A = this chain, B = another copy of it.
Amino acid sequence: MRSLFIRDEIRFTGEQLVSFWAYENYDILGDNIVAFIGPCEVEEKYIVGIDHFKKKTKIKSRRMLHFLVEHFDLDLEKAILRQKLLVDILKDKLNHRLKGDVLQRWGNDLFDTDFKLTVSATLRTSVSTKIHLGINISSKNTPVKTKGLEDYGIDPDDISQAVMDQYRLDMRLIAQRLCKTRSLR
């Protein structure tokens, strides 16, 4: 599994959710996790949650650190489980830097009391599953109460590297465990 911190500023509109985005734009072949920084404004046609789609929820943030994961299998449930793991990793890496139990996961989102920090989506494409996880850098001008990495003095570069490394490590350990586990009746 490859990873990359992309230096380009990229506006996350949802078009990054389609299959092969990392390959077509950054020549990254196979399962991968990439990170980049940029505003977030998801176009309606890329809103994959049918509940949000129906309510026309606005998914928007001024400046976010984005994680984008692609696995070349077609199992959506597996992707949702990996999404949970990714969100937990981000939480743990942040709490570790904040030296406390500051952030909690509710569903697929991170909160500091009732301040929301993240947006996230998981979906199946015709050839893969993809996970998007965005965490606010700035918490200004957001429609709901939010916090961002700036409010905690967290460096996006450092945290993104820590998260990507841990995610890749966990994926490697899972792949090994699959080849080390006996069955019982």
Dominant secondary structure at the A interface: mixed
Contact indicator B181/A48 (Cβ below 8 Å)? yes
A107/B182 in contact, CB under 8 A:
no
One of A117-125, A135-143, A145-153 at the interface? A117-125
The chain B residue sitting closest to A102, CB to CB, is B101
In the assembled complex, which residues on chain B have CB atoms less than 8 Å from the CB atom of A111?
A: none
Which A143-185 residues sit within 8 Å CB-CB of chain B?
170, 173-185
Given A50-B20, A84-B170, residue A185 in contact with residue B78 (CB < 8 A): no
Q: Count A-side interface residues using an 8 Å CB cutoff.
A: 59
A7 part of interface (Cβ distance < 8 Å): no
A17 partner residues in chain B, CB cutoff 8 A: 184
Q: Which residue of B lies closest to A94 (CB)?
A: B101
A18 contacts B by Cβ under 8 Å: yes
Q: Quick one: which of B47, B49, B176 contacts A30, CB cutoff 8 A?
A: B176
A20 contacts B182, C-beta separation under 8 Å:
yes
The answer to the question of A88 belonging to the interface, with a C-beta cut-off of 8 Å to chain B, is yes
**Does A127 touch B at the CB level, under 8 Å?**
yes
In the assembled complex, how far is the CB of residue A66 from the closest CB belonging to chain B, in whole angstroms?
Answer: 17
Task: Taking A77-B78, A127-B182 as given, write out 5 further A-B residue pairs in contact, using a Cβ cutoff of 8 Å, ordered by the A residue number.
Answer: A19-B182, A23-B179, A72-B178, A95-B95, A96-B104
25 pairs from A and B in contact (CB 8 Å cutoff): A20-B182, A23-B54, A30-B175, A30-B179, A47-B182, A48-B182, A49-B180, A50-B181, A50-B182, A51-B180, A53-B182, A72-B179, A78-B78, A81-B81, A81-B84, A88-B92, A95-B95, A99-B100, A99-B101, A100-B101, A122-B177, A122-B181, A123-B183, A126-B182, A127-B181
